[in-house]
Structure 1
Amino acid sequence: MIDTISPQGRVIAAALHLAAERPWGDVALLDIAQSAGISLAEMRTHFASKGEIVAAFARAIDDAVLAKASTRPVGQSARDTLFEVIMNRFDALTPHRKAMKSIYHSRSADPAFIRSFLSSQSWMLNAAGVSTDGIEGGLKVAGVASVYLSVFTTWLDDDDPGLARTMAALDRRLRRGERTMASIEEITSAMKRMASIFSTSPRTSDNGPSASAPGTVNEAERTAT
C-alpha cells in the first residue's frame, strides 16, 4: 500500500514507524527525514509539515479502500454499503494502529490533515454510492465524519481480531445517523420547494403593479392622451 521505494513513501513509512514508538508530538521533521534516509531539504520538496505526511498516508488508505469498492448490490441500502466501506478502511489501518493512536492523541489541527480527513469522508460516501454534491452533500460529509471519529476511538482500543466492538459501534452510529439525515433531507427538500415557488412567482415593483399588468396605463399612453 505504501511505496517504500519512492522518497515520499519512505517518509510516510518512517513517520508511521516513529509515531508507533513515541508520542507524535515528540517526533520532529528532522527525525522523520533521518529515519527515511533523506535530507531535510529533500523531504521539504515533498512535504511541508507532519500534517501533510499524515494526509498523504490517508490518501494511500483512500486508494486501498476505493480499490475494494464495487457496485452496490441490488437491494442493498446505502447504509449497509457504507458500513462495508468504513470497515474496509479500519482493516487497512489495522497494521498501523499504534501509530494512529499516537497521532490521534496528539490532537493535531494541521489544516492539510483536516482537509484530507474531510476528503476521505467524501470519498467513502461516494464509494457507497452516496452523492456529496451541494449543501445536502456537505451535510452528509459532516455527518459521516462525526460517525467515523466516534467509531475510530472505539477501533483504537478494539483488540478483537474480528473487530466486534467496532462493528457494533459503527452499526449503531450509522443507524442513528441515517435517521438524522432523513430529517435533514426532508428539511432541505422543503426549503428547495419554497425557493422554487418564490423564484417562479410574479414580481412587482416597490411602487405597485408593473406597467404591463392588466388595468394599468403606462407613462407613454398617458403622455399621448
Structure 2
Amino acid sequence: MAETDAILDAWVHVITRDGWPQARIDAVARAAACNVDAVAAVAPDRWEALRGLDGRIERMALAEAASDPDESVRNRLFALLMGRFDAMQEHRDLAQQLHAAARSDPALALFVMTLVPPMLRRLGEAAGVDAGGLLGPLRIAALSALYVQVARVWLQDDSADLSTTMKALDSALARAESLANFRPSLPKGLPAIPGSSAGQLPE
C-alpha cells in the first residue's frame, strides 16, 4: 500500500509539474525512485493514475465520514461529500490543472465524467440513498449533476475551512431534497402514481 501511494503521489507530482499531455511513466519512475515496471504495476499511464487516485480519495472520504445510522440521509450525504472535498484538498493544484486541460481535451473531460457516477453511487449507498430500481439511475444522475456543480465552487474556494464549499453543498442538497419531496396534486379520482414518493430523502 505504501508503494502504491508513493507511485500515485509521483504521478500527481509529474502531472502537476509537466502538465497533463506531457506526463510520462519514465518521469514518474524517477520521481518515485523506482523501476518503470514497478510504476506500471500500479498505474501504467496517466489515465490509470487518475483512476487510482480517485479510488484512494473515495476510501479516505468513507473513512473520515463514517455514517451515523441515526442521521438523515441528507446529513450523511453531506458528511461523505464534504469528506471527499476535504480529501481532495491536497490535490487542488492537480484538480485545477485538469479542469483547465479538459477544456481543450475532450477525452480527458469524458474520462473524468465517467468516474463520477460510479463514485457517487457508492458514496450515495453508503449514505443510505436507494440507487436500485427504476429510479436509482435517475437519483445517481441528479447526484452527479449536484456534485459537479459544487466541485466547481470547490475549485475556487480559498477559505481555510472550505466554508464556501460547505454552503454550496448544503444549498444544493436542500434543493435536491425539495425536488424529491415535491409531489404535484392529481385531479380528483385519479390513482396515485406508483412510486411517486420513491425519490424522497428519508429522515
**TM-score of the two chains, using structure 2 as the length reference:** 0.77
How far off is 1:57 after superposition?
1.0
Equivalent position amino acid for 1:96 in 2:
H
Partner residue in 2 for 1:155: 154
Q: How many residue pairs get matched? A: 184
How far off is 1:65 after superposition?
1.4
RMSD: 2.7
How far off is 1:98 after superposition?
1.0
Sequence identity, in percent?
25
Partner residue in 2 for 1:124: 123
* SS of structure 2 residue aligned to 1:70: coil
Distance 1:95 1:105 in 2: 18
Partner residue in 2 for 1:175: 174
Residues 29 and 84 of structure 1, relative CA distance in 2, 3 Å threshold: same
Equivalent position amino acid for 2:129 in 1:
V
Q: Which portions of structure 1, spanning 4 or more consecutive aligned residues, are displaced by more than 6 angstroms?
A: none
Distance 2:33 2:39 in 1: 10
Within 5 Å, which residues of 2 pair with 1:1-225?
A: 3=1, 5-6=2-3, 8-74=4-70, 76-107=71-102, 108-109=108-109, 111=111, 113-182=112-181, 190=193
Distance 1:73 1:47 in 2: 36
* SS of structure 2 residue aligned to 1:98: helix
Do 2:77 and 2:124's aligned partners in 1 also have CA atoms closer than 8 Å? yes
Cα shift readout 1:16-59 (whole Å, capped 9, x = no counterpart): 12233343233233322332233434433333431211111111
Cα shift readout 1:111-152 (whole Å, capped 9, x = no counterpart): 4x5443322111221221112113312111111111111111
Distance 2:44 2:133 in 1: 31
Do 1:51 and 1:110's aligned partners in 2 also have CA atoms closer than 8 Å? no
Structure 2: gaps of 5 or more residues: 103-107, 184-191, 197-203
Cα shift readout 1:51-106 (whole Å, capped 9, x = no counterpart): 211111111111111123434353x4312221111111111111221122112322
Which stretch has the larger CA shift, 61-70 or 144-153? 61-70
Distance 2:150 2:80 in 1: 13
